[in-house]
Chains A and B, each alone.
Chain A
Amino acid sequence: MAIDYLIATFIESLKGVPTTLFITFFALIAALPLGLLLAIARLKKIPVLSQLARLYTLIIRGTPLILLILLFYSFVPSFLNAFFKAHDIAIDIFKVNPLFYACTVFLLVAIAAVAEIFRSALLAVDGGQFEAGKVANLSTFHIYARIILPQALVSSLPNLCNLAITLVKGTSLVFVMTVKDITAIAKIQASYGYNYAESYLVIFAIYILVCTAIQVVFKKLADYVALDRRMPLKQMEKQHNEKVTIEKGVLYAEHS
């Protein structure tokens, strides 16, 4: 029965969700400090590092993801193998979990994207605040760490959300590295009875669910860090009004 197959495949493919999310969030989170470094290198025009960062972003952004994966998966294991052999390191390259390669490729991609996101977010923070910090004798590091960066992080959340979704969708390609993600599992299921159309329908739904969940999480995060949350305006107005009423009350009481 088709419906049984759909349900069975759905449940089976769900087992790929952790892998998909692991690759995505490992890449995203590990890319934050490295991307920040590249962003600062470019903004501060640090010699060499700045040019390297630019070249790196250019290469990564100008390459299809599938090509990066194929290149990486073709070359890196052979290089590593030769390297290990040359240095008598007892690691069998063919037993390395392919998840390791997947995470590395997605990390490389995420670094370039995060660098660009942070660069524009840092540029968007008004430079006058930097001067105000300098005037107050705050150190450059302090101004960045406590004033500029927190604002840049908040304003880059929507773009980081987009990146997370892009990465999730990109992970559907890791089956070529024999990583068992959502797509890989569905394809394996389909191959038993040639139910490809049904399998694709199932993961169509799963990807939408996963991406929606990510958007919800980022929305919550954005609400959480929003400044207004810390003291909603309405609440402040209410407090203020109450205070005025009390003061007036006292005033009237004194006069009557």
Chain B
Amino acid sequence: MLNIRNLHKQFGSHEVLRGIDLTVNQGDVVVILGPSGSGKTTLLRSINFLEPADSGTIELDGETFEIAKATKQDIQGIRKHTGFVFQNYNLFANKTAEQNITEGLIYGLGLSKNVAKTIAQDVLEKVGLREFAHHYPSQLSGGQQQRVGIARAIAAEPKVLLFDEPTSALDPELVGDILAIMKSLAKAGKTMVVVTHEMGFAKEVASEVVFMDGGVIVEQGRPEEIFEFPKEERTQQFLARILGDFVRA
């Protein structure tokens, strides 16, 4: 489904991604873990060219793109088939929940207004916000805003859903709602790549856990392998710190 090969990215003289290879199969839920500055968010953002990588290839749904040579059409094609959920929701503040969803469908994908509206109502229903279709983001709680963010990302039925720390900006009591929605998406067979610090979610939902540090993938495997028997020292240290915090909290 999604095949990333030899991805490199530099900010100035700082190498953020140093040759990333990652394969995501249809229906996989890949959770990317790692300390901050490890490049996990950059990796996610390079997949849909929000932060274009310098070199490497991305294969999405059978089509291969050379990153350095990707045209505007290529990028649009990739974005059409990927949904992105932001850490800070990034809803259009001057649009209602429904318009946040229809805007991209109508003007990005060229769907008719009626079709877009029907889709919007449908996805808002899925995230439990049917009643809130005509609310503006400022009238919604953080959790509700992120649910709209998810609805917006799944509206065009993308092949891959990308989540960039979708719960880090939320109050702790709202995190559960978002994770529940993500779980139901996973159950529905959506292919997902998730950058998160929610270990519980990783353990329970991930089909594959990737641990990144210093711009490389240090270790990857099934969640039980990574959490119970991490092979690399860096993974062990990271998990000890995170899970230690978890126990203390």
Contacts and interface: CB of A to CB of B under 8 A. Distances in A.
A binds B: yes
B107 interface: yes
A142 B107 contact: yes
Contact of B92 (A132, A137, A240): A132
Contacts, number: 76
Chain A interface category by residue count: 20 to 34
B114 interface: no
Interface stretch (B56-64, B80-88, B228-236): B80-88
Contacts of A150: 94
B68 interface: no
A147 B94 contact: yes
A77 interface: no
Nearest to A154: B94
Contact of A133 (B80, B92, B93, B135): B92
Q: Which interface class (under 10, 10 to 19, 20 to 34, 35 or more) fits B?
A: 20 to 34
Interface string B69-92: 000000010011011101011111
B103 A136 contact: yes
A225 B127 CA distance: 29
A125 B95 CA distance: 14
B109 interface: yes
Given A136-B103, A136-B104, A137-B79, A131 B94 contact: no
A98 to B, nearest CB: 42
Given A138-B103, A231-B134, A240-B131, A131 B108 contact: no
Given A137-B76, A240-B131, A131 B86 contact: yes
Given A133-B104, A236-B135, 7 more contacts: A126-B93, A128-B88, A132-B86, A132-B90, A137-B76, A137-B80, A137-B104
19 contacts: A128-B89, A129-B92, A132-B90, A132-B91, A134-B50, A135-B48, A135-B79, A136-B103, A136-B104, A136-B108, A136-B152, A137-B104, A137-B109, A138-B103, A138-B108, A146-B103, A154-B94, A236-B135, A243-B131
